[in-house]
Amino acid sequence: MRFLPILLGFGALAAARCGTGRASEEQRSYHKYLHEKEAREAHQPATRDVFDVEIDTYIHIVNGNSTTNHTQIPQRINKQMAVLNEKYEPTGFSFKLIDVSYTNNASWLNMQDGSDQELDMKRSLRRGDFKSANIYFVDLEEDLLGVATFPTNKGPNKFKLDGIMCSLATLPGGQKPYDLGITAVHEVGHWLNLLHTFQPPDDAAEDDLTAGCRGHGDFVIDTPAEGTSAEGCPRFRDTCTGRNETLNTHSINGPDPIHNFMDYTDDRCLTEFTRGQIVRMQNSWELREHYTPGIGGRRASPQSGWGH
């Protein structure tokens, strides 16, 4: 889902937080399967002595200007890795920087999600296997801050297109209010199979301000339903009230999760994952762990019949 750029004050970055779209039927089916399984088995997050996954991480710095000064980039990359490891520490996931590539290519400016341009870049730069996180810091279209693939994505180029794209300006030390490295945290959440907290039903209109109050939302019970994405850093927000809230059996009642990493508020406002989200990421890791390359890939898992 795309959102119009946010108008910000002088010196701030005007941008749309995330270009990762609505869940596909395949994604919804898998999330529904896990939602029911986790509720039935009363799952709790596994502690690090049980679930400890180190993710090989490849950073790709891409721009179209051969005169760009990269002097500060290594330090900012190290800060970005520190942010990822700090924010994901409670989840059992950690990130190990394996390599950094630097590429100047004018044809990869104004990168468009889902384009031949994206496929060309990722085909050239992607490293590792399906468990490896490839994070491309690029100049994205329409002032977009980031976009990522889900492990449930399908298609003949599933493996090649897998990864996370973030605007270079979102590296720590970039432009406020997206200067703390949280865009990568948000997009890695998608890569680990989390949906937006305000996920609307498939038939929702773009201008429906209570769309996220209906349906399954993000399929995680302990993230309160949220009508639309939140912006800025509000002190309080509650978009699902009255019958919209009491009739929704898929989420706990409560104010909007404006501090959740999978919402759209400013970097300084995003501080947490819920226990349910941590369980979901841990349970979804099998999608990457058991992936077999091929036409669209397949899941080498006994649970391959989920949702049926």
What pTM was computed for the model? 0.88
The whole-chain average pLDDT of the chain stands at 86
- Say if residue 146's pLDDT is above 80: yes
Give mean pLDDT, residues 114-130. Answer: 96
- Say if residue 306's pLDDT is above 50: no
- 288 SS3 class: helix
- Predicted pLDDT at 214: 86
Distance (Å, whole) CA 226 – CA 217: 8
- Residue 141: active-site member: no
Q: How confident is the model at residue 2 (pLDDT cuts 50, 70, 90)?
A: very low
Lowest mean pLDDT among 7-11, 137-141, 204-208: 7-11
- Predicted pLDDT at 163: 97
Q: How confident is the model at residue 286 (pLDDT cuts 50, 70, 90)?
A: very high
* Domain annotation for the chain: domains and CATH numbers: 48-194 (3.40.390.10)
160 and 123 in contact (C-beta within 8 Å)? yes
Higher-pLDDT residue of 290 and 189 is 189
Distance (Å, whole) CA 184 – CA 146: 8
- 284 SS3 class: helix
- Say if residue 1's pLDDT is above 70: no
Segment 43-60, tens digit of pLDDT: 788 888 889 999 999 999
Residue of 187, 226, 272, 286 with catalytic role: 187
CB neighbour class for 207 (10 Å; exposed up to 12, middle 13-18, buried from 19): exposed
- 254 SS3 class: coil
Higher-pLDDT residue of 139 and 153 is 139
Other C-beta atoms lying within 10 Å of the C-beta of residue 39: 11
